[in-house]
Amino acid sequence: MLWGISDKEFEDYYRTKGPRWISRQIKINRKSIQQRRDELEKKTGRKIRAEERITMAGHRLPPDDLEYYIAEPIGRLLHTVKNGVVLIGSDAHYWPGVITAAHKAFVQFCKELKPTIVIKNGDELDGASISRHPPIGWERHPTLVEEIECVKERLEEIRLAAPKGTKLYWPAGNHDMRFEMRLATVAPEYAKINGIHLKDHFPWWEPCWSVWINNEVVVKHRYKSGIHAPWNNAITAGKTIITGHLHSLKVYPVTDYNGTRWGVDCGTLSEPFGPQFNYAEDNPRNQRSGFVVLTFVDGMMLQPETVRVIDNDRVDFRGKIVRIK
């Protein structure tokens, strides 16, 4: 096992991620990676090449170039789950110095439920310093560097809590896109410099617009708006659809001649009255901290379940109070 990864893992990474990703991830120069690829090709008798993917605009890009287009992420990621759990947390708006009960519970459930897939469904970054909302008075927002470091810490806690081999996906949220939209507006000439793109800072998490599971369940940051968005999402999408954005944490069943599908709002991994949302002027808001658990048995998704934060020490799940450790 060279560099801590087996030949099979190396081949999978090379095909799906590309040599640049491997180089950054394990700190090995590109020449050494190409040499290992050549040796493995001789050993197996088959060609090993990075697979092309198609972006939302129809451009054909290898993985090496693809990661530099988060303003146009790779679109749709397809995944099959026969038996297993998928954890979906959304709208964390991570803030330096704040670790919420919802985040702690999410990490705990990663350890206990051993998910096959973990999806952070957008708005991990708040982007307060590049927000359309001006500062109130002389309040200090965290710098972008402080926010990026905070998001790194929280996402790494989740990655380490999940079982080895768990797929980590990150559908882009509107707050996440602030990062590159600002740069694309004021400094487009920097487009391909490493570090300019949000994905450069979180190499373990695969960006996309949506994750499709078993071609029946769609997970994406947002679709319809308004209080009835989950219902309208399921009606108009014709699929079970899991979204974030509205922070409301709720599940709507929709049944017709095609059977039953679900419209789900993931809630928020932030605290609804946290410092990120000071611009809301302490008004009441129909929002709930928590996240979503999907369970698949023989390829069929059972009814989506929510984990709702009760207070700093407890959540409710499956009719029981679960203490946050």
**Which tens digits make up the pLDDT trace of 107-159?**
999 999 999 999 999 888 876 666 555 565 556 778 878 888 999 999 999 99
pLDDT the model gives residue 281: 85
Please, which pLDDT band fits residue 2 given cuts at 50, 70 and 90? confident
Q: Are residues 134 and 21 in the same domain?
A: no
219 with 225: CB under 8 angstroms? no
Please, which pLDDT band fits residue 53 given cuts at 50, 70 and 90? low
Residue type, 294: L
Mean pLDDT of 70-91: 82
Please tell me the least confidently modeled range out of 15-19, 25-29, 115-119, 123-127: 25-29
**Any domain includes 231:** yes
**Any domain includes 75:** yes
pLDDT digits (tens, 9 = 90+) for 236-282: 999 999 999 999 999 999 999 999 999 999 999 999 999 888 878 88
Q: Are residues 181 and 239 in the same domain?
A: yes
**Any domain includes 82:** yes
Q: How is residue 277 annotated by DSSP?
A: G
Look at residue 199 and tell me whether its pLDDT is greater than 80.
no
Q: Are residues 180 and 36 in the same domain?
A: no
Q: What is the CATH number of the domain that holds 73?
A: 3.60.21.10
pLDDT the model gives residue 133: 54
Q: Are residues 128 and 17 in the same domain?
A: no
Q: Are residues 38 and 69 in the same domain?
A: no
Q: Are residues 279 and 213 in the same domain?
A: yes
234 with 263: CB under 8 angstroms? yes
| Of 281, 287, 317, the residue nearest 91 (C-alpha) | 287
Backbone torsions φ then ψ of 147, nearest 5 degrees: -65, -45
Order across the sheet with 259-265: list the strands.
76-79, 210-213, 217-220, 240-243, 259-265, 250-256
Q: What is the pTM of this model?
A: 0.74
Q: Could you tell me where the DSSP H helices lie in 265-310?
A: none
Q: Are residues 133 and 23 in the same domain?
A: no
- In DSSP notation, 174-186 reads HHHHHHHHHHHHH
Domains of the chain: total: 2
Please, which pLDDT band fits residue 296 given cuts at 50, 70 and 90? very high
**Any domain includes 57:** no
**Any domain includes 116:** yes
Q: Are residues 215 and 80 in the same domain?
A: yes
Please, which pLDDT band fits residue 59 given cuts at 50, 70 and 90? very low
Q: Are residues 40 and 76 in the same domain?
A: no
Domain span including residue 44: 1-51
> Which pair of tokens denotes residue 215?
């071609």
| Of 290, 289, 288, the residue nearest 306 (C-alpha) | 290
**Any domain includes 149:** yes
47 with 41: CB under 8 angstroms? yes
Q: How is residue 2 annotated by DSSP?
A: B
Q: Find how far residue 283's CA is from the centre of its chain.
A: 29
Q: Are residues 46 and 80 in the same domain?
A: no
Q: Are residues 129 and 32 in the same domain?
A: no
Look at residue 320 and tell me whether its pLDDT is greater than 90.
yes
**Any domain includes 59:** no
Q: Are residues 46 and 101 in the same domain?
A: no
